A and B are shown apart, each in its own frame.
Chain A
């Protein structure tokens, strides 16, 4: 009997929490209208209370059980913490649901499904007339990525030494350089390449050059970080040994540090090129040239048969590069 009471409490609480989320919290988080007494609202509140109850049963700890003093497997504080955690999680899920306009009705409506059928049909019957154009755009994309990698590697290589904690010594100047460099690199890396592409497409005009510059920035930031972390990992022994011969700093770097890093550096670089090809595709959407730009053009014209060809080509190239680059990296190990 008591058990039933605890379940009822959980159901009521669940419904209350869900209603609170839907009516008060979600609308205040984002500019959305609550569903009010519509079917989705009822379904939502109902399923929330059932979930709440099930969670209580599964975890053996719920506010309902706590209230009626039924055995609580964990301590009281943990029960409350668990429920608050679940509360926060459900807040985010429901908030996210509303903010992202998730709509099963549109997803499954007749009209929606028809649209899906149309585009899949078009994508699956690609128009191969564009293959020549597509291939040359693909070559542009691959070389955009390649050139970006080639330009970024020497710069990253040079920057990675001052960006490694163990290379500059313990002086104040050295620490300052390290911190400033790390901060700049972090900011550079936090800005997505697509944003850099927008910047550079205004700066140097739409085209592969803008795309390349965007990738160079991102590649320098990423590679320098990876390189410098590798440098921070080197074995001190050879450094001591080469220093003990009377070698200068540059010689120590070249003969004791670099030999320990070349293989990982190569591996990171190849992987970065692989990533850059994918990024170059995306960057093309905002004016970075190559296959991405071509894709947006055909998409804008709603020529989905041509888009289908491009998608197939992109998928094939990305897959191929993935296989090749991981093979190479394995062989390097």
Chain B
């Protein structure tokens, strides 16, 4: 079995909202320290998968195993705290991802108090210094409230907050999509750096193939809640098996992209 080497194993996952099936029969695994991308157009069920993984939504069917244990709904407080150290998440919207009344430092401090109760004030401070260094914050920014920070800076705080827990894996749900391209690049480099320094695994959700290409080893292509293709990222993107992946690929500027391709896919359009 692969279970000893996998941090996340998802099997037959399904989620219905009323009659609407948002996620259907989704199966994939994330190896320890690996990086898996989930691509698909808006509404294909990516966020719903992420929310089920971290326990914010209850699956209608299927199993989620993290760290070799099944994730059952309605966990105790102690169990939720343990799960927090397995899997963390960074959301898409930089403007609601932080408590507007909390400075960067107090946000990190709160997490350390919960997850590192053995640390005293000095221990927490030194850990906060490490985290702030990692995401590139100076002491003035660390005392700032979120409204004084740019979108990119807020996402860095969210990343630092997730890292403070020292999780085995981190989900990034369109975490750079709302940012300017140059800021996106900075954060992607930061994520690549963090991964090379720690043994953390990534589940990277994006509709942007360039992002997926840069940061993932394996990728899962989704459409209408179902998995269309799974495979090694380079292979899937360079040699797509499904028409849908070809379409996704031609819609984003990237290696091999040319505007004339759109004409082949949308015949009749100008």
* A and B form one complex: no
